[in-house]
Amino acid sequence: QSALTQPASVSGSPGQSITISCTGTSSDVGSYDLVSWYQQHPGKVPKLMIYEDSKRPSGVSNRFSGSKSGNTASLTISGLQPEDEADYYCCSYAPSRSYVVFGGGTKLTDL
Amino acid sequence: QVQLQQSGPGLVKPSQTLSLTCAISGDSVSSNSATWNWIRQSPSRGLEWLGRTYYRSKWNNDYAVFVKSRITINPDTSKNQFSLQLNSVTPEDTAVYYCAREPVGGYWYFDLWGRGTLVTVSS
């Protein structure tokens, strides 16, 4: 069981928007603005998409956005494109555990 | 362009030591801002952060609690690389191991990853 809870899968159609949730606790997600999100295509390396809850690295499409409310962080992808089909993982600073913890991953399908 | 190049064996026998190296190009293992991390991924355990090394006037290490008794991460400034040693491995340690950079220590995100090394623990 992963430290952060994500839905196993989310489906969407091209052009739609989807949101992936990531639920932690008041000791990690809820206490620090240090949630990051990663995209991973099959057999590929994880790619940083969002850091510090809502900041987007240079080169990442503005269709990707991050937010947080309480102990739950969210990744929203707008204007879905076929290449967005991938696994998405959240990650949070968690000093009460092993410094940093990951979610179990969410598979975005049906694109 | 910053790159991380991983090397090391893909097969380790149970009870032995897993050893991997991550060579850095375009940045420095002695950076005063970045930290250098090892993360692994397996179908059963997902993504797991293992530990890091970094330089802030002196060398520092942080390790995940669940491997703290078995892990060592060392920098090698002469080769601009860092290494992972995991002792007393079991089949549960079978995973893809990644080295990764945290560009600004303390912000806990990883912007650059090595290509990954599948390590199988089996006799």
pLDDT single digits (tens) A28-79: 999 999 999 999 999 999 999 999 999 999 999 999 999 999 999 999 999 9
Q: Which residues of A40-49 are buried (b: 16+ CB within 10 A; e: fewer)?
A: beeeebbbbb
> What's the distance, CA A73 to chain centroid?
8
Q: What is the pLDDT, as a whole number, of residue A110?
A: 79
Report residue A23: phi and psi, to 5°. -105, 125
Mark yes or no for CB contact B110/A48 under 8 Å.
yes
Question: Would you say A94 and A23 are in contact if contact means Cβ atoms under 8 Å apart?
Answer: no
- Measured between its terminal Cα atoms, the distance across chain A in Å is 28
Q: What is the pLDDT, as a whole number, of residue B111?
A: 98
Mark yes or no for CB contact A89/B47 under 8 Å.
yes
A29 lies within 8 A of chain B by CB: no
Q: What is the pLDDT, as a whole number, of residue B119?
A: 98
Partner residue opposite A98 with nearest CB, options B46, B65, B113 = B65
Rounded to an integer, what distance in angstroms lies between the CA atom of residue B5 and that of residue B75? 14
Nearest one of B73, B88, B84 to B13, comparing CA atoms: B88
Mean pLDDT on B54-63: 97
Q: What is the pLDDT, as a whole number, of residue A98?
A: 80
Q: Give the three-class secondary structure for B38.
A: strand
Mark yes or no for CB contact B98/A2 under 8 Å.
no
Q: Report whether pLDDT(A3) > 90.
A: no
To the nearest whole angstrom, how far is the Cα of B114 from the nearest Cα of chain A? Answer: 8
Q: What is the pLDDT, as a whole number, of residue B115?
A: 98
Contacts of A51 in chain B (CB under 8 A): 107, 109, 111
Give residue-wise pLDDT tens across range B6-36: 999 999 999 999 999 999 999 999 999 999 9
Mark yes or no for CB contact B109/A36 under 8 Å.
yes
Rounded to an integer, what distance in angstroms lies between the CA atom of residue B116 and that of residue B100? 10
Give residue-wise pLDDT tens across range B68-104: 999 999 999 999 999 999 999 999 999 999 999 999 9
B2 lies within 8 A of chain A by CB: no
Question: Would you say A57 and B109 are in contact if contact means Cβ atoms under 8 Å apart?
Answer: no
Mark yes or no for CB contact A99/B114 under 8 Å.
no
Q: What is the pLDDT, as a whole number, of residue B70?
A: 98
Question: Would you say B83 and B93 are in contact if contact means Cβ atoms under 8 Å apart?
Answer: no
> What's the distance, CA A99 to chain centroid?
18
Report residue B66: phi and psi, to 5°. -75, -10
